[in-house]
Structure 1
């Protein structure tokens, strides 16, 4: 059985409410998730809370989960997003040095998280490449070239509202493909720090 087949089986059993599978997934992935969180947060308790929250959320949404990447990639994405969200919500109490080289911290915590980060980027790039042509062009101009909606509209001779619609459509595809409720800010952050 390959890893992806194994993940599919785990997800199917999780969908059915098998709490033994949740324990199995926890044992299999908690350490990697914890290390990814700790490498960025540098706090044992907060890192443990982040991982715990992800598993609680996974259990609460177990019957709705359809993971289109690997389970490992899904959990990694969830971890990075939770850390990002934690930083965003706690700006007033977070030491400035935690933000320094945040992108490098994501990518360099250990060999497994480097691989998972690479898998996430490949997946996001693949989804972007499969967008309808106009949608892909608008999204790339927005995220990679960092043009404003107005600049894109002028360049492509379309309305700013059409630009917004294309970006919304692209984000909808990305969120659905990862099955994680990601913000535009986070997706932009990941795309800007992919090298």
Structure 2
């Protein structure tokens, strides 16, 4: 069977069945289109390439659950748009953290030694870690607490949630950031 001659729907069925060659074909078919779209939105070649890779990794990971009711090209286009918006939110938070006058105490907040990285690389890693925090409320609580030094009680009042919920959100997010900064993710 020549996979390059299959239509998108058949390729998707092959991917769902676990055919990695079908995923590779789909990637090759839409990679350039998606990279252009991601670059248009992110204005960074490396981030655009990572965004496209993330979309295909996600498709592969969720292949047994995926339900696509539109054309595959449109589905991938929407996925890259959403993923780029997600990355942009992380970038915005990163810029806020960098512009904040006080330094973030990375050692205490994340259990990470910043002396092992130069400042530019550390900024990039911190941005990437913030971008990977999937729950907006967790990210918000984390940034308010560690970047803006807002007390947890005030965060709970501002977010209209319990103090315990704030503590859990901050703890979970700190664990995610710590794992990413240490290179476990």
**Greater RCO between the two (CA within 8 Å, min separation 6)?**
1
Measured against the shorter chain, the TM-score band is 0.3 to 0.5
TM-score in terms of structure 2 length: 0.47
